[in-house]
Each structure stands twice: as structure tokens, then as C-alpha cells.
Amino acid sequence: MNKRKLGKGGLEVSALGLGCMGMSIAYGLPPDKQEMIVLIRKAVERGVTFFDTAEVYGTNEELLGEALAPFRGKVAIATKFGIKTGPNGKQFQDSRPEVIRQSLEGSLKRLRVDAIDLYYQHRVDTEVPIEDVAGTVKDLIREGKVKHFGLSEPGVKTIRRAHAVQPVTAIQSEYSLWWRRPESELLPTLEELGIGLVPFSPLGKGFLTGEIDEKTEFVKTDFRNIVPRFTPEARKANQVLVDLLRRIAERKKATPAQIALAWLLAQKPWIVPIPGTTKLSRLEENIGAVNVELMPDDLREIDTAAAKITIQGERYPETLEKRTGL
């Protein structure tokens, strides 16, 4: 698989990474652990060298630690600090320097590594100045426990303030054909500063694969049950975007998911999407997107058609949206 560089600090990873959250939480009952270990190792065999997890993703770090143990030095693991889960099961933000250090030690142990390749603040903590966060990670980099610094879903002012203290290698943000807000301020800022972008949910939490419609039923524990964009009415209205992808896919002898990923890859050379999956067939389909070449005419056609589509439903419940873009 082709490689791409994130930031200016020498972090080179596969053009597509693998988001691993869904292997442990969020999308219904977690699949079998041994099956996920096999899947992760199959991803490495197929050229994936970039894996994404977080402290708050249940047992996900332990899963990656075991699955990737044979590939030390050959893959890059990104994890995140700053979101904790309280005794009541509710999440809260805490990026105090001492808590970052505690989180790091736990992640190192669970991932079975000596240093974290890319360490993101999971969400901006309004109670802790971003300069203190960046300064703490800078110290950890100096100590050899972290290699690169990242932020997840910050606003551009926060990025600039953090970058002035410790160069930011990558920003993680939702970005896809059905969530294009990053194009207004985020992408120009990252280009200016030389920071990479790692889009999560590049397939719209599965919707852009074309396998979900208004009749699809999710298990009770599936996160999408509380997402406004996934109400049956919104799904029915948003099918028009999937129809667009399907038309392009038929012409390109590809799938809607591959077109959605190829579109992202075509936006900037420093964008590395991290689609998640728990199925080998989907993994192989996603990886196939790197071989789908969208010509300028294709991209213009997609953009022209997409500009006429108004996506229905917010991407998050209001309480979760408040945690982003500060």
C-alpha cells in the first residue's frame, strides 16, 4: 500500500489506517476477540501500518497490544487521552498534566509498547489550558515515551495555540462526503501549518457503504440509535447521497464505500482516513479504495452533485457536539 506523511516530524503511515473502536464498543455487541486479532493481523499483511484506539475504548488497547505484538517497529499505533469514564458509566474530560501522565503509563502497558507513536488529546478540556496539555506532551516526547502529538476535533484557535508550544503532527476529525465542515476552516489551517488530517467515520458510520437504509434496525447497544442522522426519516432522506456514490461506483467498477474513501484520499496528500470494520470482507473492500483513481472530471461531478444535496439530521446528539470544535 502507498504511504503518506502526517505532519513534518517524519510520521509515515499507510494511506489508509484502521479504526479499531468498533471492535470493542459503540456498535452493538463486541465481536469475538480472537477473530479481531486475526483481522488486525490480516490488515498488517495487506499493508496497513496505522491503527487507531483510545484509553476510553474499553478493552481496545489490550486487544491491539496483543494483536500487534509481533509487528513492533513495523506499525504505528495512535491512542488518546483526556476522556475518562466515571463509576456511573458517564464520560467526562480530564486533561490535567498529572492525569495525562497516568493515562500514558496505562496505555503503554496495555499496548505493550515503550512509546506511543501518536498521542491525541481526545477532546479539548476547557478546564485545562491547551498550552499546559501541549507542554506536558512535549515533556513526554523529550522523555521518549511519546513520538508525536495530536488533537481530536479541536477548533483552529486551539490548534494554533497548541502548535506554538509543541508541533502538532495530526488532527483527527470526522470528515466525509456527508460531513464536510472541516473544509471551511480546518483544512486551510492544517495546510498552512503542515499538519496531517486523520478522518474518522470516513464512511459516515457505515451509511456511505450503501448497506444501511431506513428499514435497518440496530441492536439496542449501538451508538447510532441516539444519532439524529440515523433516524429512519433521516436515513431515507440521505439515501440520495448513497445513490450518487453508487452511480460513480458502477462506472468505476468499484463500490460506494470505495468511492467515498477514494474521494477523501483525493482531497489532500496528507489525509489518512481510518475506516473501522469488524469484517475481513469489509477490510479488503476498504483497502481496495487506494487503487480507485478518481479523475478531475469525476471529482467535479461528485462535488457538483453533492452540493445540491442537503444532509438531514445532526451528526451527534447536542451533548456530544458540545465537546468538539473549541
CA distance 321 to 25: 19
**Domain boundary assignment for the chain:** 3-203+267-291
250 within 8 A of 300, measured Cβ to Cβ: no
The pLDDT score that the predictor gives to residue 326 is: 62
The count of C-alpha atoms lying within 13 angstroms of the C-alpha of 208, restricted to the half-sphere facing its C-beta, is 29
Q: Nearest to residue 202, comparing CAs of 159, 248, 148, 256? A: 256
Q: Nearest to residue 325, comparing CAs of 193, 203, 171? A: 171
Q: Nearest to residue 95, comparing CAs of 84, 87, 105, 85? A: 84
Number of C-beta neighbours around residue 88 at 10 A: 6
Catalytic, 27? Answer no
* Strands 76-81 vs 196-200: parallel, antiparallel or unpaired: unpaired
Can you name the CATH fold of 3-203+267-291?
Answer: TIM Barrel (3.20.20)
pLDDT tens, per residue, the chain with 326 residues: 999 999 999 999 999 999 999 999 877 778 899 999 999 999 999 999 999 999 999 899 999 999 999 999 999 999 999 999 888 888 899 999 999 999 999 999 999 999 999 999 999 999 999 999 999 999 999 999 999 999 999 999 999 999 999 999 999 999 999 999 999 999 999 999 999 999 999 999 999 999 999 999 998 888 899 899 999 999 999 999 999 999 999 999 999 999 999 999 999 999 999 999 999 999 999 999 999 999 999 999 999 999 999 999 998 887 777 766 66
The pLDDT score that the predictor gives to residue 285 is: 98
The pLDDT score that the predictor gives to residue 199 is: 98
- Letter string b/e over residues 161-187, b meaning 16 or more CB atoms within 10 A of that residue's CB: bbbebbbbbbbbbbbbbbbbebeeebb
Give the DSSP letter string of 45-82: HTT--EEE--TTSTTHHHHHHHHTGGGTTTSEEEEEES
Given the residues 57, 119, 120, 175, the one annotated as active site? 57
**Does the CA dihedral 162-164-170-176 come out positive or negative?**
positive
195 within 8 A of 222, measured Cβ to Cβ: no
171 within 8 A of 6, measured Cβ to Cβ: no
Q: Nearest to residue 119, comparing CAs of 164, 61, 175? A: 61
7 within 8 A of 148, measured Cβ to Cβ: yes
